[in-house]
Amino acid sequence: MSASSQDLHTETMRHALSLARNSPPKPTNFRVGAVIMRLADSHVSAEGYTLELPGNTHAEECCLLKLAEQHATSEEQLAEVMDAPHALYTTMEPCYKRLSGKLPCVERVLRQKAWIKTVYVGVQEPETFVGQNPGRKMLEDAGVEVVHVKGLEDEILSVATAGHRSP
């Protein structure tokens, strides 16, 4: 990774972190920010954060729902209308399991693997709610590259866990 591309990844992750700060602190979820960026020109196609939209929404889910709305389609049909490769930046690795019963973010990304080629993550998901997260392996096994953007871990975890009770 060149220095300029590393700068872009860090800058984009900082933007995702700024989005995460918009999420209300609660003891029952992580505050996460996400950005979907077109690879060809670094255009931000969508961005979101935990609980931005109604319905106990995760950051990645908000991005996909907003992108689907922009394209007058459903999240399930996005892969049929998105024709340019994109990357997903998320402050915390996508969840593989949702206690709410909603579709996990790993599965949402896998539905879009025709155009989401890389997932950049700031930190691994802590084992707080669902234990160890095999999501990275699931994504990589399906051909989606997962890259850790280093350097913001402490800040990301501080924002993500705001509102959690101390043990």
Which residues are known to be catalytic? 60
The arrangement of strands across the sheet holding 145-148 comes to: 44-49, 33-38, 86-92, 116-123, 145-148
Quick one: tokens of 36? 């979907």
Q: Could you tell me which of 30, 58, 44 has the C-alpha nearest to residue 156?
A: 30
Q: How much of the chain is in helix, strand and coil states, percent to nearest 5?
A: 35, 20, 45
| SS3 (DSSP) at 158 | helix
Q: Are strands 145-148 and 116-123 parallel, antiparallel or unpaired?
A: parallel
Q: What angle is formed at CA 129 by the lines to CA 125 and CA 131, rounded to 5 degrees?
A: 65
